[in-house]
């Protein structure tokens, strides 16, 4: 027996779920039904993204240690791969227009691709990336 090699949910502990929910709505993301005041979820092309009260998530997932101090980075990044260099620029610009904080504008990367970084209002890091030969999961992202 081993541990199934799959990721089905990514949950971001949130200090202010209504603010994050409004932010991602501004990116054009459609929430799944069943949301609550302190919980929202999204189908991200198979894997789901959830926003959940940081304190409630901590009670379940980390009773033994504290979350990062506000203003510290989590140490984790999430990426949206798209189908071309131009699609990176377009998605990056759309995110910035919709209130994302600019961390690093798209540049050529030594690993052979092209990507930039953004942050949401709680500092979660998103990379918008094109990796030649890596097929995006969703037709939306082509």
Q: Which residues bind its own copies (CB under 8 A)?
A: 1-13, 27-30, 42-47, 49, 54, 57-58, 60-69, 71-82, 90-91, 93-95, 98, 103-104, 117, 123-125, 127-129, 134, 136-138, 140-141
Question: Whole-angstrom Cα distance, residue 133 to residue 131?
Answer: 6
Smallest distance from its own copies to CB 92, Å = 9
Question: Whole-angstrom Cα distance, residue 86 to residue 78?
Answer: 20
Smallest distance from its own copies to CB 17, Å = 13
Smallest distance from its own copies to CB 132, Å = 13
Beta bridge partners, 53, equal 14
Cβ-based neighbours of 111, under 8 Å, separated by 6 or more: 131
């Amino acid at each position: 027996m081993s541990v199934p090699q799959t990721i089905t949910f990514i949950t971001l502990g949130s200090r202010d779920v209504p603010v994050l929910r409004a932010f991602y709505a501004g990116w054009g993301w459609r929430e799944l039904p069943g949301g609550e005041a302190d919980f929202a979820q999204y189908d991200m092309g198979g894997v789901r993204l959830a926003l959940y009260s940081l304190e409630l998530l901590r009670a379940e997932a980390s009773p033994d240690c504290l979350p990062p101090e506000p203003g510290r980075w989590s140490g984790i990044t999430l990426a949206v791969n798209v189908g071309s260099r131009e699609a990176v620029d377009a998605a990056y610009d759309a995110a910035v227009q919709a209130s994302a904080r600019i961390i690093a504008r798209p540049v050529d990367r030594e690993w052979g691709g092209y990507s930039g970084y953004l942050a949401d209002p709680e500092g979660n890091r998103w990379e918008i990336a094109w990796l030649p030969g890596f097929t995006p999961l969703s037709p939306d992202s082509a």
